[in-house]
Structure 1
Amino acid sequence: MRLWSTSVDPFWSTGKVNVTPAVWLITIAVTIAFFVYEFFAHVRKPHEPSIGESARWSAFYIGLALLFGVGIGMVSGWGFGGEYFAGYLTEKALSIDNLFVFLIVMSGFAVPKAYQQKVLMIGIIIALVLRGIFIAVGATLIDNFSWIFYIFGALLLVLAYRQAFSSHESDPANGRAVRLARRILPITDDYHRDRIAVRIDGKRFFTPMLLVIIAIGVIDLVFAVDSIPAIYGLTEEAYIVFTANAFALMGLRQLFFLIGGLLERLVYLAQGLAVILAFIGVKLVLHAMHVNELPFINAGEPMLWAPEIPIWFSLAFIGATIAAATVASLAKTRGQGHAGPPTAEDEREIADATTDR
């Protein structure tokens, strides 16, 4: 059996999915309702979630995401179902990588555990909004410019290289945006519960919580640049892109408290994501060749001989890569796990571990 071909398998054929405005409105409304419920039921009252609470809600959201994917497959065909699952797996892996950096930020700012839920919720909402904007922009570009696939593919190959080899700022809590905010705004030295601003002697001050949110927002922007071109390499359907992202972000807060110290044990996650991004980058370039309209490439004619990687192979490759990176990471760090998020003593070790990410 060939891994890819230029012919179309009817069982996996995707075509175009017809999503009405009503379905879009219902989907967005339900997504917002879930996050509103999360805030009032779990985040509004500061507390550190128990392992049991985190496990139950993590299982609920993952199960809901899987059921939604099965529903897409049954209603619209398993081509779309496969695209959703491949996108969900990719976005979930990127979101866990995002969580790792959130962990570094909260350690750097010494955010009390009882207030970490609020920070995570704000970070997840910012991520959803930014990704929603990028999804709309990406869909418009794809509908009007077929050559954008060349750009997306090249971008993902660059991001894959940076993910695997380049050194990133090891202390996001001391990034440029945070340093600028410290210079411009009056910031208190201590937290005042989970408040962002307080009045002291009649003067308004901002708390370190604002700096945490700024750092989280910058991180979300960077990860949105990674994630949206990646998932558009797996599906051109904006609805699938949005729902895969939404489900990947749902339950992320609970997952943070559930896996806790396992996050820093995933030492090969960055390399695994680099392989996935590079794979999708190549897939996008091949697709761009297949729909080519650029006059200076092949005289503006599509290169129909270019192979197109089918979604079933993409799904299998992404799943196998994530599994391999996880197993290899846990094997390498066996006996080095922590019971929960890192203490102050762990902070230097975690920052050093992310220097190469």
Structure 2
Amino acid sequence: MSNNKRFAFIVAALVVIAAAGFAISRLFGGVSYAEGYLYEEENRMIYAKVTPGEEQGQVKVDVTDTYVEEEDSVPVLKTASSVYTGSAEDGKLALTSAQQPGKPVAATVTADELVFLGPLQEGGQALPKLAASQDAAYQKQLAAMTARINELAEGKKKELAEKRAKEAARVEFAKKVEKTDRLVADLVENAQYLTDLQFADEASLYQEQVAELQGLLEEVRLYAGQPGLQQAEYAVMKEHVSAMKVLVDGIKATDTSVKGKKQRMTDIMSVLETDLADVKATWEEIRNKGVPKPDERQKALDKALSTASEAIAQAKQRMAAIDKQQSSAGQKAAQMYSEANALLGKSEPK
């Protein structure tokens, strides 16, 4: 036989052996084992390989269970691997799980199928029949299943992301509606606080204190103009000047009251101006996006804006007016007290 013919014969023999290997992996105990055994459904794939052990009558079964579980409604592909060892006789397998020793599992095997006769996991159901399959076919089907589940997962993730985005937008919108209502209420409330801060008492005190100072100064002038000022009259004159000092200090105390009240008014106006800008901007964002009772809310908003703006304008007017009264009272008090002190210094009782 020529070398070329020998080579062709060897190649043909190898092809036959390889083809046989796809159908039968090994021959043991009179039972032919397929290259693998596969059970497949839409969201589950179980693949098992049966191989003889090193000793006569021994066998090992490797099971790979690929299945789909949902996590937050997203399909996730998971894999559980198990190894079983035991004895084989006439196609009947008595196996023990390496993961759960002491729990026997029975099965039957032929070149066409592998059937587990009991549950592989505690509380689980018996596995269905696994049909003979080749590794390459299993890998191809597993890849297809993996691609399909991954595509479903991506679609579900996108759907969930859109759903969450819509829910977040809904919540954000509801917050803005609530914020608008709250700001409207705050504007009305703070406008009332600002309106309640009046300077009527302080203005009245300034007038009374200046009037009393004026009256005391007139008396001091009368005493100072007398040609023969008696000691008792000088004492009264001195008491009047002391009383004027008390009134001057009283005006300063009134100044402190005015300062504190003006600060409170300034703080409230600052809050009002911030809320005015905020509520206008927020309302513009939501007014045409399905706000409940839009006309009613618009009316309440317009009224609150008007009330707050008017309260701020009036507060500024009151502050400007009290500033003038404060300045005038302070100047007059200082002048009258200075004149009284000068008259007292020039007077010489007998």
Bigger helix share: 1
Normalised by the shorter chain, which TM-score bucket?
under 0.3
Q: Structure 1 length normalisation: TM-score?
A: 0.20
Name the structure, 1 or 2, with higher relative contact order (CA <8 Å, separation 6+).
1
Bigger strand share: 2
